Amino acid sequence: MAQAGRHFVFDAFGTLFDVHSAARACADIIGPQWPRVSEVWRNKQLEYSWIYAGIGRHMSFREATRLGLIYALQVTGLDKNIAPGVVAAYARLAPFPEVPAVLRTLKERGDNLAILSNGDPDMLDELVGNAGLTDLFDAVLSVQAAGTFKPAPQVYALCERQFGVKAPQLTFMSSNRWDIAGARAFGMNPIWVNRSRVPDEYPEFPPVRVIDDLNALLSEAV
């Protein structure tokens, strides 16, 4: 049965949570190369998810995160043995500054909120809980239920089943342009949260709107 109110679905990593805050918090361990380590770490983490999905092999996102960090440390000439202390910080990623207040306002307005993420269920529960945001979400959806990673269509279908509505009734937010392309191809109404203000990569699959951060959800018609 469809739930009353609007249906907002958020990506987690890079959209609600700053993926670079883990390496930043461990700058004393990593050293001055932490920005480069963080960039390579994130890129390799995503690459692992796409490659394993493409060849039909399962890899947990936790493992993709761990292996991505090890690669990033090695390619920057750092000791891979510091990885356990750094990867632990991924459970405490910082929400972007506006996120808690915006989510709480949307919830108070009667909107339905969910996360749809590549993260493993326990990984997401820990992350959302540590940020104090658990009570704001009607659902925290992991791609594990679909057996593959974004941007596969069966991942976005999890949101239809959760809310009992079709894709055009779902508004999906992500800072990852490839994720927006996947949601658009599935039929959702995607809003690109272009925090880094980068050029568009996928004009064939345009977002319905581009915003700088989530504050725009409160000041604009959605």
Q: Which residues are catalytic?
A: 11
Q: Identify residue 182 by its one-letter amino acid code.
A: G
- Closest Cα partner for 9 from 200, 220, 214, 146? 214
Calpha distance 100→34 (Å, rounded): 26
Residues with Cβ within 8 Å of 135's Cβ and at least 6 positions away in sequence, in order, are none
d(CA 109, CA 5): 9
H or E element at residue 190: strand 189-193
Residue 56 has a CB neighbour count (10 Å cut-off) of: 8
Could you please report the per-residue DSSP string of 119-179?
Answer: S-HHHHHHHHHHTT-GGG-SEEEEGGGTTS-TTSHHHHHHHHHHHTS-GGGEEEEES-HHH
Which residues, 6+ apart, have CB-to-CB distance to 176 below 8 Å?
11, 14, 15
Give CA–CA dist 186/168, Å, rounded.
9
Cα 193 to Cα 12, 28, 34, 47, 163: the distances in Å are 12, 30, 24, 21, 22
